Amino acid sequence: MPSLLEALEQKYGEAADSDSSPDSDSAGISVAIFVPCRSPRAAVPALLVLNDCDIATAGEREALVAKCSNVEELDLAKNKLNHWTEVFGILEQMPRLKFVNLSFNVLSKPLEVSLDKSKRWEELRSLVLNSTYVNWNSVQEILDHLPCLEELHLSLNDYNNVELHGRKSDCECSENKNDNCDCQNYKLKHKHKVIRILHFTGNPIQEWKEISKLGYAFPNLESLVLAECPIRSLDFEDSCKECSNKNCETSDTESKLAPYDAFKSLKILNLNSTNLSTWDDIERLSKFPALQCVRVQGCPLWESNEYTEHERRQLLIARLPNVQTLNGGGQISEEEREDAERAFIRYYMDKPESDRPERYFELVQIHGKLDPLVNVDLRPEKRVRVTFTCGTNSEVRSVDVYRTVSDLKSKLEGFAGFSAAKMRLFYVDQDLRDIQGPEEMRFPSKQLYSYNIRSGDEILIICKIECKRRTQSESKISEKEERAMYNL
C-alpha cells in the first residue's frame, strides 16, 4: 500500500524529460518553453484530494513538508489509514489546514500517540470523521488540539452513547463519597465552545439524555444533524421505559431536566428518519429557545394516513411558533402561519377537551373561538333531468352533465330520427326563456355543465336540412313567426 508521499508523486509526477532530442518532424522549428522555478512535482494545490488511493502511511517527513506546507483542504476519505500515528504524521506537515476529511478510514484503535500540549492546529475549522469508528477518548484528545474547530462530523460511527465526560471519581463535590453523585461537575472533561456545527447522522443512539451530552460538551452549538438516529423521544422520563436493564433508572436530576437545557443556542435541528412517534415531542421542540429551522420527516408519527401533506405542515407550523423554516421549505410567511394556527384550532375544536394540546388553548387566546368552516360543494350535479323536444315530440331524459355536445347528439339520433351530422341543438334556460331565448350549442367538444344546465331546462333539436329549406322558401317570414314555427 502506498504512502501519502507516493500517492502525491503518482498524481502530481514530474514532467517528461526536457532534455530529450527533437524528433525529425519538429527539426528546424524553434519553440520557446517557459520552465517554472519549482518542478511540477512540488506544485501541490491548496485543495488536495486523494480519495480511495489505498494510502496507509505518511511517507518521508521532509519531502511532505516541502510539498504540502501550503495545503489548506485535505480529503483522504476511503483510504487504508488505521493508525493515528500516521494521521498526525500527515497533519503535522500541513500547518495551514482548514478542512480535513478522514471518512471511511478505520481509526477505531486508541490514540496511541501522546501529543505535545503545545501542538495545536489553529487554522483547522472543519473535521470529518464519518465511519471511522473513532472512540470517544480519541475524540476528546483530538479536540483539545483543535482550538478553532467550528464544524465536526461524527456520523456512522456506531455510537450507542456519548462519552464526552470524565469519571465520577474526578468530581470535586464533597458529597461524592459513595460514587453516586449526580452533579454536572464530573460529566464534562472539557467544553468545546467554538464548535457550532455537528453532524451525528446514523448512530444507533435511542435516548435523548445521551444526545444532551453533546449539547453540554458543545454549549454554543447552532446546527445539529441527528438524521437516521433511532431516537424514541425527547423526554428524559421516557428514556428508560424500554430499557432491557431492569435496574436502570433515570436519576431525579435528569428527570427534572428539560430537553432543551443543553441546547440554548441551537438554531438548526435535523430529526429526519428518527423514531419520534407523538405530537408531544413536536411540542417539546417549541421550547428550544433559539430554534429556527427544523427537519422532521420520515418518522413513525407520519406513518398513518390521518393527515394530508398540507394538514401535516399546518399542524407542525401551529405547534412550532418560533420556527421560521420547516422541512427545507421557504421561510414561513405571516399569512401561512395564521392560516395554520386557525386550521389547528378548527382541527381540535370538535375533539374532547382531554385530547386538546396545550397549544390549542394558547391559540384560542390569540384568535378566539372560531366558527367551523361551511363545507360548500361548488361542483355541478353529475346528472340532471332535461326535456328534449324535436318537432312535436317531447321527452324527459336524465343526462350526464360531463357529456360533450357531440356525444349528446350521437345519443339523440334514435329520438330525433336523423343523424348527428344533421343535428342542431339549442339550450333553453327555464328561468331565462322569455328574456334571452334559446342558445345554440355549437361547440362539439364543450361539456354540458359549462352551460350551467339544471334539472327542468330544455334542449331543442332541429334538423339542418329543414333549417336550409326554411331559409330558401320562407325568407320573408318575420323573426317572431319563425321562432313560433320552430318552437324557438
At 313, the pLDDT band (50, 70, 90 cuts) reads very high
Residue 337: what are its φ and ψ, rounded to 5°?
-65, -45
At 38, the pLDDT band (50, 70, 90 cuts) reads very low
Determine the residue type at 259.
Answer: P
Length reported for the chain: 488
Average pLDDT over residues 251-256: 53
- Confidence (pLDDT) at 432: 85
Sheet containing 383-390, strands listed edge to edge, beginning at the edge strand earlier in sequence: 393-400, 383-390, 458-463, 423-428, 439-440
The CATH code for residues 383-485 is 3.10.20.90
- Confidence (pLDDT) at 30: 53
Checking if the pLDDT of 256 tops 70, the result is: no
- Confidence (pLDDT) at 142: 92
- Confidence (pLDDT) at 76: 96
- Per DSSP bridges, beta strands 293-295 and 325-326 are parallel
Average pLDDT over residues 257-279: 94
Report whether 207 contacts 160 (CB < 8 A): no
Average pLDDT over residues 303-320: 89
In angstroms, rounded to a whole number, what is the distance separating the alpha carbons of residues 203 and 211? Answer: 11
Highest mean pLDDT of the ranges 22-26, 462-466, 483-487: 462-466
Highest mean pLDDT of the ranges 37-46, 325-334, 371-380, 430-439: 325-334
- Confidence (pLDDT) at 158: 97
Checking if the pLDDT of 255 tops 70, the result is: no
At 168, the pLDDT band (50, 70, 90 cuts) reads very low
User: Exposed e or buried b for every residue in 146-167, given b needs 16+ CB within 10 A?
Assistant: beebbbbbbbbbebeebebbee
Checking if the pLDDT of 33 tops 60, the result is: no
Q: Express each pLDDT in 9-26 by its tens digit.
A: 888 764 333 344 445 454
Average pLDDT over residues 48-54: 93
> What Å distances lie between residue 395 and 81, 138, 279, 392, CA to CA?
90, 91, 60, 10
State how far Cα 381 lies from the chain centre: 41
Checking if the pLDDT of 27 tops 90, the result is: no
Q: Express each pLDDT in 78-128 by its tens digit.
A: 999 999 989 988 998 898 999 999 999 999 998 876 667 667 889 999 999
- Confidence (pLDDT) at 186: 38
- Confidence (pLDDT) at 110: 87
% of the chain with per-residue pLDDT over 90: 52
Checking if the pLDDT of 260 tops 60, the result is: yes
Checking if the pLDDT of 165 tops 80, the result is: no
At 319, the pLDDT band (50, 70, 90 cuts) reads very high
pTM above 0.75, yes or no: no
- Confidence (pLDDT) at 176: 47
Checking if the pLDDT of 284 tops 90, the result is: yes
Checking if the pLDDT of 154 tops 60, the result is: yes
- Confidence (pLDDT) at 48: 92
- Confidence (pLDDT) at 237: 67
- Confidence (pLDDT) at 471: 53
User: Could you tell me which residues are beta bridge partners of residue 461?
Assistant: 425
Among 41-45, 54-58, 80-84, 410-414, name the one with the lowest average pLDDT: 41-45
Crossing angle between the packed helical segments 309-319 and 358-367, to the nearest 10 degrees = 80
Cell of 249: 433508572
In angstroms, rounded to a whole number, what is the distance separating the alpha carbons of residues 14 and 64? Answer: 16
What's the mean pLDDT when you consider all of the chain?
A: 82
Q: Where are the domains of the chain?
A: 383-485
Sheet containing 99-101, strands listed edge to edge, beginning at the edge strand earlier in sequence: 47-49, 73-75, 99-101, 126-128, 151-153, 197-199, 223-225, 268-270, 293-295, 325-326
